[in-house]
A and B are shown apart, each in its own frame.
Chain A
Amino acid sequence: MSIADFMKRFPWWHEVILGVLLAGLLSVVGVVNPQFLNLKGQLLLSRHLWEFALLALPMTLIILTGGIDLSVGASMGMCAVAFGLCHANTGSLALSCLVCLLIGTAGGAVNGWLVSRMNVHPLIVTLATYATFRGLAEGTSQGESYSQFGDGFSQLARGMWWGVPIPAYLFALMAITCALYLSKTPSGRYIYAIGHNELATRFSGANVDRLKFRLYTFSGFMAGLATIIYVSRFDTAKADAGTGFELDVITAVVVGGTSIYGGRGNIGGTVLGLLLIHETRLFVSRQWQIEELRSIVIGLLLIGSLLLYRVVRPVHRD
């Protein structure tokens, strides 16, 4: 096999490019600000990452089918208010967590129903629920914020086991499950098939509607889970929880090499994308102390990465 052949067939280009970018970023950071690269500090700073990371998993699956979910951030607002209201009225943390997950799942199911049963474009569905969920959160809470959930609860997001934050274990578990699901189960393979050609998948006998419904419901459930960690981290539940998260999550997934048209991508790429976004954000806000610069960088990164992938066109295995 000649080198050119090898270059053409090598299946991991995408991950290599992302890895090189990440290494490049980290070495630049290391030169500019050596303290930044300390492992302990990084683990401590990783707290900002886990909610995004959890949301990025279902987002990857949804984008793989050629859909999109813009409502995840708003869904978190709704879940946070549900959590706060439940805690204020019952005082039970376990019940509040359950309600939070239920509300999230219900919201996701509404998305799923509209996308799969009513056959409305996911972009429109989730744009509508994006406004509806956030509006419901603002309406029911009336701008009030709920807090004081106790020290034990805030340990959930802030605590460490063997030097690693607790949410990291949760994320690792979910990520591995999702990766195995995508690569090893029939319905996981159907997700790619839907992204490639939905009609053909339907004709091949897969229950596309049910699968899509489940994916959006799963996304809602994960929004509920992310909310619990978010609330635990800030010890506050407010209607504005998760504002703007959808952008960061979609950016991470797209930068991670999942095609926005569906059918291409994997969880591994998303994890690398998440790390890249996370480190960029940390570095930018550390170095220049300007919050606005961060959103400029993320927005440009999103557009830039897609432009880049148009040019380099990596070969893909599915």
Chain B
Amino acid sequence: MNALADIAIKLLRQREVGLVLLILLVTAIVSLVDPGFLDDRNLKDILVRSAPTVIVACGVMLVVVTAEIDISVGSLMALLAALMGLMISHNEWQLSMWIGIPTVLLCGTLIGLLTGALVTLGNVPSIIVTLGLLTAIRGATTLLMGGENIDGLPDELQTLSKVGPAGMPLGVWTAVAVLIVTQIIITHTPLGRRLFALGSSDYSARMTGLSATRLKLFAFAYTGFLTALATVVDVPRLPKIESGIGSGFELLVVTCVVVGGVSIAGGRGRLGGVVLSVILLTMVRPVLTFLDVGEAGEKWTKAIQGLFILIAVITDTVVSRSRRGGARNTSSRGTQVAVPRDATGGPAA
């Protein structure tokens, strides 16, 4: 019995296992109520909706791994969408798509770089920088769009964002590519290992000669770039660009990263968990629709997403305590740093 419990706890400590079980459970329940849930179209819809979140979460995960945070991605997405709309829409400045899109990608990277510079060179905590930018950029977006919606994006972009190669929209393919690249960065490049080293112990990383400034600059710039990429591939899916676009997106992304098992104290986390939690959290809305709870039920989406983070952090604490032998060790709870896990706690592939 005890051995069984041990195995169960060991398995549950792998965040991915818990997430897969939860996804399967939810899918089973919903498809019992309405088999239409397992329909190709619905499954594809879930994938398409998770794509932008996956893309941005890859960047934010790296930021969180270095023990920083970025909560400005939603506003940034809105600003970049507005910029893209203004440049390439045939009702606005009518620039070529091949000028507009690289500019958007460049702007995203630059704003990410600016965020990183404020955090590292300016020495301002990242939560404050990105909280300030969250509002400032949102204001700038509304100002830029002047309360109007932007429509008339080029047809080829709109088609690509709906049906790309092999029937899957461009967003899904981009998400897959970004996932592969990020996984390679994490596991197969010195850069990725350094990011984790920096997050595990800022002091030791500095002592071994790593540049915290450069590493963090990379993480923020990468997030900015990926936000721009997500904007380019996902926003044209909608018929028009509204100024409220992307609001609440930052919360969703951070939720996914945390629920996916990335430690907010830095240095620990795996991409697999993040992807699974994106899928789980994206499923919330379709699940509510298929359970036929109607308009009333969909108002609960935010509460359910919030509860997911709470559950994730509580299980994290409970599981890590039970591993330490059940008894709560009061004196060791002094520091805010997460209790170090065992040797497998790194970003093993």
Contacts and interface: CB of A to CB of B under 8 A. Distances in A.
Interface of A: 66, 68, 114, 118-121, 123-125, 127-136, 138-139, 142-143, 198-199, 202-203, 208, 244, 247, 250-251, 254, 260-261, 290-296, 298-303, 306-307, 310
In this complex, the member of A124, A244, A250, A290 whose beta carbon has the largest number of chain B beta carbons within 10 angstroms is A124
Contacts of A131: 251, 255, 302-303, 305-306, 309
Interface in B330-344: 331, 333-336
A299 B303 contact: no
Interface residues on B, range: 35 or more
A121 B309 CA distance: 12
A32 B136 CA distance: 25
Contact of B313 (A128, A293, A294, A295): A128
Majority DSSP secondary structure for residues of A touching B: helix
A107 to B, nearest CB: 12
Contacts of A300: 132, 136
Interface of B: 69, 71, 118, 122-125, 127-129, 131-140, 142-143, 251, 254-255, 258, 264-265, 296, 299-307, 309-310, 313-314, 316-317, 331, 333-336
B127 to A, nearest CB: 6
A198 B128 CA distance: 22
Nearest to B122: A307
Given A139-B303, A198-B335, A292-B142, A114 B69 contact: no
Nearest to B334: A199
Nearest to B127: A123
B136 A134 contact: no
A232 B234 CA distance: 43
**Those 5 A-B pairs whose CB atoms lie nearest each other, nearest first:** A135-B303, A299-B136, A132-B306, A131-B306, A135-B302
In this complex, the member of A138, A291, A295 whose beta carbon has the largest number of chain B beta carbons within 10 angstroms is A295
18 contacts: A119-B333, A120-B317, A123-B69, A128-B306, A129-B306, A129-B310, A131-B255, A134-B303, A135-B303, A198-B335, A244-B135, A251-B132, A260-B128, A296-B135, A299-B137, A303-B122, A303-B129, A303-B133
Nearest to A251: B132
B302 A138 contact: yes
Contacts of B251: 127, 130-131
A132 B310 CA distance: 9
A251 B129 CA distance: 11
A124 B305 contact: no
Contact of A124 (B132, B139, B140, B309): B309
B139 A296 contact: yes
A135 B305 contact: yes
Contacts of A299: 131-137, 139
A198 B333 CA distance: 10
